[in-house]
């Protein structure tokens, strides 16, 4: 892996073992795509693949990996990454973003994009309240380019998480809508038209959407 991945930041934080999170107060499977760093394969454009103990950060769309000393490092050549496979889960990288892939066939399926947004300028009001909605969560430390920073515990730094489903075919990501579904499943155009005409919508949860689209893919 050392031959393939260059280091953007030589030292972020030393972990107390590879399973400890470098970000306290935020769920691991929110900040990272996977709950734990795991053995992965990284596929590059124009060169051979590399292996290592990796994860993907959903906040800044960086590929993270653990070196032999237990340091969490960030790969600098992410623009050359085409795909990452961690354990049994695959991620397609395009347009500077990692998408989790949910295959429906060998070359197409659902693609999930996650955006974790940190609200640095949230205004704290009386009794510790903020001007943001109650769905926004809070934490007391955050990864930044310089490393791990413990935030002022009296200051509220909320974050929110947005997940959006797309379709992928090969290396292409397209919007999940009626027209693209008809293109993906040309033999099911009438069924797809009837589904939307009846007032239905594609579920916004990956598993539910996958179950629906599986009916049209067979």
Q: Which residues of 10-39 are buried (b: 16+ CB within 10 A; e: fewer)?
A: eebeebeebeebbbebbebebbbbbeebbe
Q: What is the pLDDT of residue 69?
A: 81
Identify the pLDDT of residue 19: 34
* pLDDT for res 168: 96
| Domain-located, residue 192 | yes
In a domain, 79, yes or no: no
- Beta-strand ranges (E) seen in 15-119 are 38-44, 47-57, 62-66, 71-75, 81-86, 89-94, 97-103, 108-118
Domain identity same for 187 and 153: no
pLDDT of residue 14: 32
Examine the pLDDT at 7 and tell me if it is beyond 50: no
Joined together, the tokens standing for residue 208 give 């539910």
Is residue 54 exposed (0-12), middle (13-18) or buried (19+ Cβ within 10 Å)? buried
Confidence at residue 123, expressed as pLDDT on a 0 to 100 scale: 54
**Residue 1 within a domain:** no
Q: Is residue 215 part of a domain?
A: yes
Residue 89 lies inside a defined structural domain of this protein: no
Contact 23, 159 (CB under 8 A): no
Name the pTM for this structure: 0.76
Q: How far is CA 93 from CA 7, 152, 162, 177, 206, in A?
A: 19, 35, 18, 21, 18
Asked whether residue 80 is domain-assigned, the answer is no
For the chain, what's the residue count?
A: 218
Mean pLDDT throughout 134-151?
A: 40
Per the structure block, which two tokens stand in for 127? Answer: 């009794």
Is the per-residue pLDDT at 51 higher than 60? yes
- Residues spanned by the domain of 185: 177-218
- Into how many domains does the chain fold? 2
Identify whether 112 is part of a domain: no
**In a domain? residue 210:** yes
Residue 188 and residue 216 in contact, taking contact as beta carbons nearer than 8 Å: yes
């Amino acid at each position: 892996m050392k031959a393939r991945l260059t280091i953007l930041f030589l030292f972020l934080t030393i972990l107390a073992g590879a399973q400890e999170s470098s970000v306290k107060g935020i769920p691991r499977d929110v900040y990272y795509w996977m709950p734990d760093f795991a053995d992965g394969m990284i596929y590059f454009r124009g060169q051979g693949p590399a292996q290592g103990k990796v994860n993907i950060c959903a906040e800044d769309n960086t590929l993270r990996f653990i070196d032999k000393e237990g340091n969490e490092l960030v790969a600098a050549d992410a623009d050359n990454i085409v795909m990452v496979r961690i354990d049994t889960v695959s991620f397609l990288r395009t347009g500077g973003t990692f998408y989790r892939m949910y295959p429906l066939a060998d070359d197409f399926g659902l693609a999930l994009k996650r955006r974790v947004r940190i609200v640095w300028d949230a205004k704290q009001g009386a009794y510790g309240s903020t001007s943001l909605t109650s769905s926004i969560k809070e934490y007391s430390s955050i990864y930044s380019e310089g490393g791990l920073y413990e935030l002022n515990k009296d200051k509220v730094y909320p974050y929110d998480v947005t997940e959006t489903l797309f379709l992928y075919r090969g290396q292409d990501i397209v919007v999940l809508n009626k027209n693209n579904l008809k293109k993906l499943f040309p033999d099911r155009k009438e069924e797809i038209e009837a589904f939307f005409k009846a007032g239905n919508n594609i579920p916004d949860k990956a598993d539910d959407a996958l179950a629906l689209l599986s009916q049209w893919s067979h």
